[in-house]
Chain A
Amino acid sequence: EEQLLESGGGLVQPGGSLTLSCSASGFTFSSYAMSWVRQAPGKGLEWVSAISGSGGSTFYADSVKGRFTISRDNSKNTLYLRMNSLRVEDTATYFCAKQGYLKDAFDLWGQGTLVTVSS
């Protein structure tokens, strides 16, 4: 069974850093691009970042560019999101998602991990 499991969320002060992890199982991880999507409390979905299957190409939303870094370790079937210079407005549940071959649709999602940025 295909599965994604995020971890690493928590409470952090403004200006602080946090690294999220997403552990994948049940599919050939290195064959698929992956994305991070976030959802602020009571709000809609916001695409944050994406990475190619090899890890050679990375993409970011303007709202996080220069502060967040996406990476992956295909030997460990794990996706990461390093978040620096965190702001109150980064408070959200962060989901990792697998991009399928068909129009890059996000066909598998993790359960999400909550990041709270507050003093």
Chain B
Amino acid sequence: NAGVTQTPKFQVLKTGQSMTLQCAQDMNHNSMYWYRQDPGMGLRLIYYSASEGTTDKGEVPNGYNVSRLNKREFSLRLESAAPSQTSVYFCASSVQWGGGAGEQFFGPGTRLTVL
């Protein structure tokens, strides 16, 4: 089992460029999440997908879009990157949806720099 995988691991973009971060899990989890982590601020939820076919906004969704491609895959798209989106992005999954879901399993992260 690979768990949660993310690609790419590192990315440098210029302001205004677009890109898609890919995430896949092989644990047959229903729920998937995208977080960003910035120094001193903890992880903040961008979008989540409670189950296949549904997506919802989290705490900081502006500037992002997501696609739950199937049960395994959940992608995050930056349409027009801005320097404020420089961050470390983590994808996570859990067995069931919600704050009461218990353990979330995280991918290794994508370090994104926007110049």
Do A and B associate with each other? no
